[in-house]
Structure formats: C-alpha cells, structure tokens
C-alpha cells in the first residue's frame, strides 16, 4: 500500500473521464480510470482507493451492480462511492443508488467545488481508514482478494515467482482443473501456443490454453503487475464464441458472394439471351428451310447442316447460362416420375457406351411431381455424363426413385443417381456446383453441375451429394410431390401424333426483329397460314381493327414500345377468345405478372427449329374449345 491516495473514476465514455479529471485537478491525489465494471473490479485488486466516482449508466454492468459487488466485498466494503448521472434525475434512482451502497447521488451538471469538497471529506476519512488497514491480517487480505476474483466473469490467474498462487472459479471452469491442482504450477504449463515472454501491460490475442481434457481453447491474455506484492495478474478471456461467430460470418459472406456471382452471371446471360436467341432463330429457320430444298447441292447441304448443328450448340450454351443464373423459363407440368426417368435412361445407352451398365430401381408406388420434364432430363443427362467420366474403365450407373414422407416437409419425390466410379475429393465437393469450375483438363466447361444445381433450385427442389474416393458417388435430388393429373393427354397430343402439319386461317405475327419476322412468316405461309405482320404494339393494334378473322396471335414478349402482354391484352378486346403464343429469347419476369391474359395462352422459348415453331403454332390454334374467329368490331 503506497502513501499517496487515489480515487477511482468509472465511466464508459472517455470524454466524461477527461472532464472529471479536469474538475478534480485541485486534489493532490492519483486518479485511476476504468471504462467498465470489470475494469473497475480489476483496478481494486491493484489499488487501495480513498473514494470512487461511478457513472450510473454503463453497458454489461451498470453502476448499481458494480456498487453492490464492491459493497459485498470486505476489502472494498467501506469504500465511499458517489454516483453521477446525467439521465436518471428521479428520486427513485437516487434511492436505488443509496440502496446499492452509495454515499451520495449527484445529477449533472455538477459544480466542481461541490464535488471537490465532498471528496476532500472522504479523503480525510480514508487517512483514518488506512491506519486501521495496517492491523488487518494477511489471511483477511487474501480472502478479500479471492472474493473479488470470484465475482469476475473472466478467468483470472494471480502468479508469483513460485508459480500460480490464486485462481477464480471462471479459471477453474475454463481449464477443468481445480484451484488446488493449479497451485504452484507455471503459467506456461497451461499455454497451448508458445509465447516467448509474457510482458506486463501487454495483451496477447492469438493465444490458446490447454484444458485438463487436452483440448485447446483460443483466448486473449492481458497482464498487469500486482502493486502490493511480487506477482502478476493475468486476465484470460475465452474467445471460442467470438471465433465461432467469426467463422459463421465468413461462411455467410462466402454464400453471399456465391449468390452474387450467380446473380451477376444471370444478369449477363439475361442481357444477351434475347438478342442472341433472335439471331439463332434466324440461323436455324433459314438453315432448315434451305435444307428442305431438294435442289441444293450436297456440299451446300453439308455446310448448312454444320451451321444448323453449331447454332443448336450455341442455343444449349445460352440455356445453360440461363439455368445457372436461374433465369431460364421453366414449363412445369405434372409428370409420372418413374415413366419420365425410364425414358431418360433409354437415351443413356448410346451416350454412356457399352462399358457402363445402367441399373434402374424404382418404387412400385406411382410418384408424381411438377417439374419441367425437358429440364429434368437435362439434369439426368448431365449427372450421367459426369458419372461416365468417373468410371473410365467401366462400371455401374444406378438411377432410382422413391417417395419420402416427412411430417414437416410433407411428401417428397426422391431421385438418386449413383455410380461406382473414383469418387469426388472433399475439396472438390465444396466447389463442384460453382459455374466454370472443372477438374477436366481440356474438354470441361465447368457448367454441367452448375446447370444441374440451377435447374433443381429453380424447380423448388434441393440437391446433395455423398461420395467416397474409390467407392463412388451418389447425387440425391428432392422435389415436391404432386397429385396425379386428371387427364393424361389432350386433343392437341392426338392431333400431333396423327401427323397434321398444315394450318388454315389468318395469324397475326408481332416481331420487332425484321430478320426473325421474315423467317417465321415464310414458315407459316409455307404451311397454309395467311400472315399479317407487325413490329410494334401500335401497328398490331391498328391491324387488329382491319382483320375480320383471326386464328391466333403470335407475339414476341419484348417489343420496342410495349411488351407482348400489352399487345395480347389489346387484341383480346377485339377477339376475346383468340389463342395467344408468346415468344422470347429471355422473357425475364414478364410471364409471372398478374396481368397475363387468361387461357388459351402458350409460350415458346427462342431459338427454335421451324418444325418446333409450326407444332407450337398448331397446338396454340387448337387450345380453345372452338375456333376463336370473331367479326371485327
């Protein structure tokens, strides 16, 4: 205990501490600042204060709680405490302060002279108290020290040259050792991470301690010198929760970055899809029409065939990019899952080769799900191709389906595609659904599994993988189950199967890209339709007033003045039941709008072959129960 008196100033605002020191500068004492209750308790271990000035409102431990702890401890029981508050002016708070053990409760602003005179009185009392403290026994002093340590939430170690002298209960809980087991041990014996030398007044954030069970706990260690004895005070803060929070934030940031990359890719694909698909529509339509010309030279027909094949590959690339960004247009329908999977597997024989055995295991219970069957087939194809590459020397591909019943999620249709290949390393599993990530040297684009993930996610399902090296991999897809459809086929399917390929009547074709418009008009006219064309909503609206009969409206969704939905809505005012065929290279969210015209409505994704376009037009013309021919009004 030194000869010079000291006063404890506690406030979580550094500006308030500076103001207090200035107001009390006339006192010939030392001031010790503390910005929290824990720091104040720590300060009482190294100082014998004449008085304490406490702020009421502080985070974690307010002034009332701090005063109650200090008042309960023998070593600080007689410490005079003055409360200062700029907020709590009601009498209730003053009484609460007195109950907590304060000798006075002052509200700001406070005259410096008043505060100085009050503290002078307590400094006088402290001089008398100091003379009494000399008579206390060492045992009482140690008891008080232990009591204060026990009230602190952080682990505390008091060390001397002979080793650990005192620990609190928080330290025992952190390490799993009792205080008796730790007595006399070197502090280095509990450190899991090497530290050359623990310096007084320093903080070590990148440390770890080893528990009795042998596990390592990340901690922060701060070291202070004991004032009244030869030793040090180590405060050890458990950082496990902080590290876990940091890891969770990093994982969340990684998922966010991944989602942002997908969104950026989707925006990029969506931005070029409309124009690129328009160009591909022209290439495919013109190439197909030229191939139908029997007078074309064989070398010309070969070149046209290669041009058509290249355009189809470009079309698939655009669709894959849209699938990754979850921007492609799905045309879901209720399907019999086992039947659809059998049809998909029937196409795998030539794709996989004779060295791959295909095994199907399907539940006898009929399973129905609502999904785009074409997209589902693409998922199975992509997974099968990856499995083939993993089974270079041959193996078995198993495609199975069953129905899962979950109390929370309901019934789910489950598809499993497994192989007996080389398996997927764990580090690859973490990235394999990322776009453009591939382990193939030359031929891999890195789109296959990204497309699979995008299609499944956009279909409202989920996909997971289990894999073991040199054993194989199993991809599991979960989709919502659905009720069986009321009708398996409609009249359009029967007409399509009968080979009807020609149309009659007048159709209105609205397309702003003139190359696409001319190509589609040729297809329609060559197959029996009379065609009226427009390139905008205004032209289409004007034409509709002059047409007497109309078999169908065929319109692109993206137009320069209005979208195709506006065209269809206007036309329905003249022809209320006219069937509508929307086309688009990338419709965005237009097909999900609430103002979409009611049925009969159909949709065709660009690009497409002439025969596909013609089939969809014929199907659209027969969507209504009776032919929608109306007199112009």
- Domains in the chain with CATH codes: 6-142 (3.40.50.2300), 153-238 (3.30.450.20), 246-324 (1.10.287.130), 333-480 (3.30.565.10), 491-621 (3.40.50.2300)
User: For position 323, what pLDDT does the model report?
Assistant: 56
For the cut 90, the answer to whether the pLDDT of residue 573 exceeds it is: no
| Res 508: pLDDT | 92
Phi, psi of 336, rounded to the nearest 5 degrees: -80, 110
E strand intervals along 16-162: 30-34, 51-55, 81-85, 104-107, 155-160
* pLDDT score recorded for residue 489: 41
Going edge to edge, which strands form the sheet with 81-85?
Answer: 30-34, 6-10, 51-55, 81-85, 104-107
Which of the four pLDDT bands, split at 50, 70 and 90, describes residue 629? very low
Q: Give percent of the chain above pLDDT 90.
A: 8
Q: How many CB atoms lie within 10 A of CB 306?
A: 11
pLDDT for 219 beyond 60:
yes
pLDDT tens digits for range 409-456 = 778 999 999 999 888 888 777 777 776 656 565 454 556 677 788 788
Q: With contact defined as beta carbons under 8 Å apart, do 92 and 47 qualify?
A: no
Directed axis angle between helix 63-72 and helix 37-46, to 10°? 30
Confidence of residue 628 (pLDDT cuts 50, 70, 90): very low
For 541-558, write each residue's pLDDT tens digit. Answer: 888 888 888 889 999 888
- What is the Cα–Cα distance from 41 to 149, expressed in whole angstroms? 8
Residue with tokens 């497994």: 418
Contact predicate 338/370, CB 8 Å: no
Partners of 581 in the beta sheet? 554, 602
Of 397, 422, 421, whose CA–CA distance to 341 is shortest?
397
SS3 (DSSP) at 425: coil
**H/E segment holding residue 235:** strand 232-238
User: Looking at residue 492, what is its pLDDT?
Assistant: 39
- Cα(207)–Cα(221) distance, integer angstroms: 7
Dist CA 265 CA 456 (whole Å): 17
DSSP classification of residue 590: G
Using the predicted structure, report yes or no on whether residue 9 has a pLDDT greater than 90: yes
Give the range among 71-85, 488-502, 517-531 with minimum mean pLDDT: 488-502
Say if residue 443 is exposed, middle or buried (CB neighbours under 10 Å; 0-12, 13-18, 19+).
exposed
Distances (CA, A) of 91 to 63, 67, 106, 391: 16, 18, 11, 82
Q: Report the pLDDT value the prediction gives residue 446, as an integer from 0 to 100.
A: 53
Mean pLDDT of all residues in 483-509: 61
Q: Which of 545, 565, 547 is nearest to 556 (CA)?
A: 565
- Picking from 590, 592, 577, the residue whose alpha carbon sits closest to that of residue 623 is 577
């Amino acid at each position: 205990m030194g000869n010079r008196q000291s006063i404890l100033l506690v406030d979580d605002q550094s500006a308030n501490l500076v103001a207090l020191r200035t107001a009390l500068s006339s006192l010939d004492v030392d001031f010790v600042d503390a910005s929290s209750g824990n720091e104040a308790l720590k300060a009482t271990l190294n100082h014998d204060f004449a008085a304490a000035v406490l702020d009421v409102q502080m985070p974690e431990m307010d002034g009332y709680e701090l005063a109650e702890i200090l008042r309960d401890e023998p070593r600080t029981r007689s410490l005079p405490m003055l409360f200062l508050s700029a907020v709590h002016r009601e009498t209730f708070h003053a009484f609460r302060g007195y109950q907590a053990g304060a000798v006075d409760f002052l509200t700001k602003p406070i005259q410096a002279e008043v505060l100085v005179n009050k503290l002078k009185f307590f400094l006088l009392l402290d001089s008398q108290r100091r003379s009494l403290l000399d008579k206390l026994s060492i045992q009482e002093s140690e008891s008080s020290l232990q009591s204060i340590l026990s009230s602190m939430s952080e682990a505390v170690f008091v060390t001397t040259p002979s080793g650990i002298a005192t620990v609190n209960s928080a330290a025992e809980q952190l390490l799993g050792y009792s205080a008796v087991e730790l007595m006399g041990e070197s502090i280095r014996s509990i450190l899991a991470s090497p530290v050359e030398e623990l310096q007084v007044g320093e903080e070590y954030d990148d440390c770890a301690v080893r528990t009795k069970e042998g596990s390592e706990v990340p901690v922060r260690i701060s070291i202070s010198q004991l004032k009244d004895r030869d030793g040090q005070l180590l405060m050890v803060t458990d950082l496990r929760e902080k590290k876990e929070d940091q890891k969770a934030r990093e994982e969340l940031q990684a998922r966010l970055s991944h989602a942002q990359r997908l969104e950026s890719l989707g925006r990029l694909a969506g931005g070029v899809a409309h124009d690129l698909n328009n160009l591909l529509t022209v290439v495919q339509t013109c190439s197909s029409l030229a191939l139908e010309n029997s007078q074309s030279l064989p070398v010309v027909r070969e070149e046209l065939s290669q041009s058509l094949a290249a355009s189809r590959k470009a079309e698939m690339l655009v669709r894959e990019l849209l699938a990754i960004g979850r921007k492609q247009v799905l045309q879901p329908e209720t399907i019999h899952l086992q039947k659809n999977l059998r049809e998909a597997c029937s196409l795998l024989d030539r794709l996989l080769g004779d060295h791959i055995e295909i095994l199907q295991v399907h539940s006898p219970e009929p399973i129905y799900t609502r999904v785009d069957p074409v997209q589902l087939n693409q998922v199975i194809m992509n997974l099968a191709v990856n499995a083939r590459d993993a089974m270079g020397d041959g193996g078995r591909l198993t495609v199975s389906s069953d129905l899962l019943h979950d109390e929370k999620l309901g019934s789910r249709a489950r598809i499993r595609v497994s192989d007996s290949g080389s398996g997927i390393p764990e580090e690859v599993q973490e990235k394999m659904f990322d776009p453009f990530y591939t382990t193939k040297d030359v031929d891999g684009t890195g789109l296959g599994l990204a497309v699979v993930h995008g299609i499944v996610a956009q279909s409202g399902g989920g996909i997971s993988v289990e894999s073991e090296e040199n054993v194989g991999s199993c991809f599991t897809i979960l989709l919502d189950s659905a009720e069986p459809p009321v009708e398996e086929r409609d009249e359009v399917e029967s007409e399509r199967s009968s080979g009807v390929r020609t149309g009659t009547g007048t159709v209105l074709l609205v397309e702003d890209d003139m190359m696409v418009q001319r190509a589609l008009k040729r297809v329609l006219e060559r197959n029996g339709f009379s065609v009226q064309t427009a390139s905008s909503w205004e032209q289409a609206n004007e034409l509709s007033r002059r047409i007497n009969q109309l078999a169908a409206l065929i319109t692109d969704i993206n137009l320069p003045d209005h979208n195709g939905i506006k065209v269809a809505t206007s036309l329905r005012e003249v022809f209320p039941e006219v069937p509508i065929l929307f086309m688009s290279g990338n419709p965005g969210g237009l097909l999900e709008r609430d103002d979409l015209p009611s049925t009969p409505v159909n949709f065709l994704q660009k690009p497409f072959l002439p025969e596909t376009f013609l089939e969809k037009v014929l199907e659209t013309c027969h969507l209504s129960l009776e032919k929608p021919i109306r007199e112009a009004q």
